[in-house]
């Protein structure tokens, strides 16, 4: 009997507690920087596309929602098209982990609602951003030992010049 | 019959249905208040039109009658539930004699009779649905409501003895000096519990018991037939609240404020208390419910009748 009345009283007291609800569209929830939301493709500090079309993201994707085709220009690899079907994507972040060039990244944004399902298929123009994303300094071709126009073999960061096999000098 | 009486007869059910519909929203907001959330607050100012949106939705839903159901009874049951509740309101004394038949000399008996008939709605719904959950709900409802009817009536005996009349208008008049909740506190407690059980509201909603019976007696109901059970339940809350107000809280009587405001305040407070009960108490087991009824409430109400009778007799002989 007393317990029941006490329960009633304590429940009534909850009228004066703070609301736990986040009034969503007016009041945005805090999303941490590592939140796994909408996927983007970033550029390196020089403004070139980071993606080298290695297909690792498409391979690791558990729901096969990434589709891309490699092409080559000026000694660099690029995706000819890069397509993510967000109606399939489960935002697991495996693609970001697999990416050797930090090109593909997940962002703290989930407001991607569409009325038609086919609008959820994002092409490269939709994915590519103008910035560097989470890694402002990183540029894959500057640390990789691949010669590109304007950068000869052996001139990358932390790379020694290639050994001249025909020389006897130490 | 005057036009004003006719107008009252037409308006009362309409206003009641409106109130019962709005009450669904009020309940959700209050439950939210006591559960540290907001509840529906999007449709209209403060979510006020949520009830309208829900009503519209339920009106447009498919009204399906299962092929295994007993068609006639199946359709009749929600109508009975609705009707008995609405008819009971005829004798509730509103301020300024605004009720339909509030000076009926057996008003209280009429309400008890209507509540007794209300059992049929639930039992027939459970029976005609022809499915096991609905039947179980119906059987529970029959046992629960009939046994709680017994001491609901008995607990009211004290009030009737003190007022010397079955007319609700006279009962309100008899509370001019002191509200009956003070001399009849025992009867008040028993009547409250019985009232909750009668409207099969939480924590005594065993006929519905959604975690064990699906939805109990209205498992097979859909569309507006379910809506009628729903609205009848909320109208039942208003009915029991206004009954408690009338019988124990002095009806529309009160100082300073006009009678209409007092009546609304008291009834609204009781409705809020009903919702608070829902927000805080767990549902008892079925045998606990019956044990509470027959082993605690029945002796208590008999004790109340005895004590009231003794005191009244002593007072008369002095």
Q: Does the beta-carbon distance from B34 to A7 stay under 8 Å?
A: no
Per-residue pLDDT tens digits for A78-127: 999 999 999 999 999 999 999 999 999 999 999 999 999 999 999 999 99
CATH number for the domain spanning A109: value is 3.30.70.3270
For B29, the closest chain A residue by CA position comes to A15
Nearest by CB to A20, which of B37, B277, B280? B37
Looking at the domain assignment, is residue A44 inside a domain? yes
For B41, the closest chain A residue by CA position comes to A23
The total domain count for chain A is 1
**Is B101 in contact with B64 (CB distance < 8 Å)?**
no
Question: Smallest CA–CA separation between B258 and chain A, in Å?
Answer: 28
Give how far Cα B156 sits from Cα of B109, B149, B207, B294, Å: 10, 11, 24, 17
Element (H, E) at A41: strand A39-41
**Is B33 in contact with A15 (CB distance < 8 Å)?**
yes
DSSP per-residue codes, A59-76: HH-TT--EEEEEEEETTE
- pLDDT-derived band at A54 (thresholds 50, 70, 90) equals very high
The interface predicted TM-score (ipTM) is: 0.77
Query: How far is C-alpha B138 from the geometric centre of its chain's CA atoms?
Result: 18
Q: Is A89 annotated as a binding residue?
A: yes
Which residue, B246, B278, B284, is CA-closest to B262? B246
Average pLDDT over chain A reads 90
For B35, the closest chain A residue by CA position comes to A14
Residues 16-35 of chain A with CB under 8 A from chain B are 17-21, 23
CA–CA gap between residue B44 and residue B33 (Å, rounded): 18
Q: Is A95 annotated as a binding residue?
A: yes
A118 touches chain B (CB under 8 A): no
Which residue, B50, B88, B272, B234, is CA-closest to B168? B88
A15 touches chain B (CB under 8 A): yes
Looking at the domain assignment, is residue A14 inside a domain? no
Q: Which residue range forms the structural domain that includes residue A41? A: 31-143
Q: What are phi and psi of A128, to 5 degrees?
A: -75, 130
Q: A79 in helix, strand or coil?
A: strand
Which residue, A150, A15, A83, A53, is CA-closest to B280? A15
Q: Does the beta-carbon distance from B281 to A23 stay under 8 Å?
A: no
CA–CA gap between residue A121 and residue A73 (Å, rounded): 26
E strands in chain B: none
**Is A108 in contact with A98 (CB distance < 8 Å)?**
no
Domain map of chain B by residue range? 3-317
Query: How far is C-alpha B203 from the geometric centre of its chain's CA atoms?
Result: 14
Give how far Cα B194 sits from Cα of A122, B68, B152, B204, Å: 62, 34, 6, 9
**Is B228 in contact with B217 (CB distance < 8 Å)?**
no
Per the listing, tokens 């009939």 go with: B146
Give how far Cα A12 sits from Cα of B202, B255, B284, Å: 16, 27, 21
Query: Helices then strands (H, E): number in chain A?
Result: 5, 5
CA–CA gap between residue B240 and residue B155 (Å, rounded): 14
Looking at the domain assignment, is residue A66 inside a domain? yes
Looking at the domain assignment, is residue A87 inside a domain? yes
CA–CA gap between residue B157 and residue A163 (Å, rounded): 110
How would you write the pLDDT of chain B (318 residues) with one tens digit per residue?
Answer: 578 778 888 888 888 888 888 898 999 999 999 998 988 888 888 888 888 898 889 889 888 888 888 888 888 989 998 889 888 888 887 776 666 777 778 888 888 888 888 888 888 888 888 888 888 888 888 888 888 888 888 888 888 888 888 888 888 888 888 888 888 888 888 898 888 888 888 788 877 777 777 777 888 888 888 888 888 889 889 989 988 888 888 877 878 888 888 888 999 999 999 999 888 888 888 888 888 889 988 999 999 999 999 998 998 887
**Is B116 in contact with B107 (CB distance < 8 Å)?**
no
For residue A11, pLDDT over 70 is answered with yes
């Amino acid at each position: 009997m007393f317990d029941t009345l006490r329960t009633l009283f304590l429940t009534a007291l909850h009228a004066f507690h703070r609301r736990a609800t986040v009034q969503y569209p007016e009041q945005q929830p805090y999303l941490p920087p590592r939140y796994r939301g909408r996927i983007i493709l970033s550029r390196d500090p020089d403004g070139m596309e980071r993606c080298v079309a290695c297909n690792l993201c498409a391979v690791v994707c558990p729901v096969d929602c990434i589709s891309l085709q490699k092409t080559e220009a000026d000694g660099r690899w690029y995706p000819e098209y890069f397509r993510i079907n967000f109606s399939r994507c489960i935002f697991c972040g495996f693609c970001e982990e697999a990416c050797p060039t930090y090109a593909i990244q997940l962002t703290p944004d989930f407001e991607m609602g569409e009325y038609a399902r086919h609008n959820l298929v994002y092409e490269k123009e939709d994915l590519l951003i103008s910035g560097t994303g989470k890694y402002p300094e990183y540029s894959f071709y500057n640390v990789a030992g691949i010669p590109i126009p304007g950068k000869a073999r052996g001139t990358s960061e932390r790379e020694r010049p290639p050994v001249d096999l025909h020389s006897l000098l130490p | 019959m005057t036009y004003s009486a006719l107008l009252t007869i037409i308006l009362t059910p309409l206003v009641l249905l409106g109130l019962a519909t709005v009450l669904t929203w009020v309940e959700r907001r209050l439950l939210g208040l006591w559960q540290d959330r907001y509840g529906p607050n999007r449709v209209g100012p403060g979510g006020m039109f949520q009830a309208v949106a829900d009503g519209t939705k339920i009106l447009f839903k498919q009204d399906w009658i299962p092929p295994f159901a007993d068609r006639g009874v199946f359709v009749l049951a929600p109508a009975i539930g609705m009707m008995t509740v609405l008819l009971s309101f005829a004798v509730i004394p509103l301020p300024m004699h605004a009720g339909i038949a509030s000076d009926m000399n057996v008003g209280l008996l009429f309400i008890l009779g209507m509540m007794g008939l209300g059992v049929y709605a639930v039992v027939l719904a459970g029976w005609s649905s022809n499915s096991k959950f609905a039947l179980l709900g119906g059987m529970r409802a029959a046992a629960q409501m009939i046994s709680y009817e017994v001491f609901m009536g008995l607990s009211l005996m004290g009030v009737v003895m003190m007022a010397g009349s079955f007319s609700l208008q006279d009962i309100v008049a008899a509370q001019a000096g002191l509200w009956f909740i003070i001399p009849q506190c025992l009867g008040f407690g028993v009547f409250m519990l019985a009232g909750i059980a009668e409207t099969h509201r939480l924590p005594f909603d065993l006929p519905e018991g959604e975690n064990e019976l699906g939805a109990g007696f209205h498992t097979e109901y859909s569309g507006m037939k379910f809506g009628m059970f729903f609205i009848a339940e909320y109208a039942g809350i208003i009915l029991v609240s206004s009954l408690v107000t009338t019988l124990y809280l002095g009806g529309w009587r009160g100082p300073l404020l006009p009678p209409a405001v007092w009546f609304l305040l008291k009834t609204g407070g009781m409705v809020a208390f009903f919702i608070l009960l829902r927000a805080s108490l767990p549902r008892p087991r079925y045998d606990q419910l019956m044990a509470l009824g027959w082993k605690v409430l029945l002796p208590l109400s008999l004790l109340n009748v005895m004590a009231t009778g003794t005191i009244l007799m002593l007072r008369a002989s002095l």
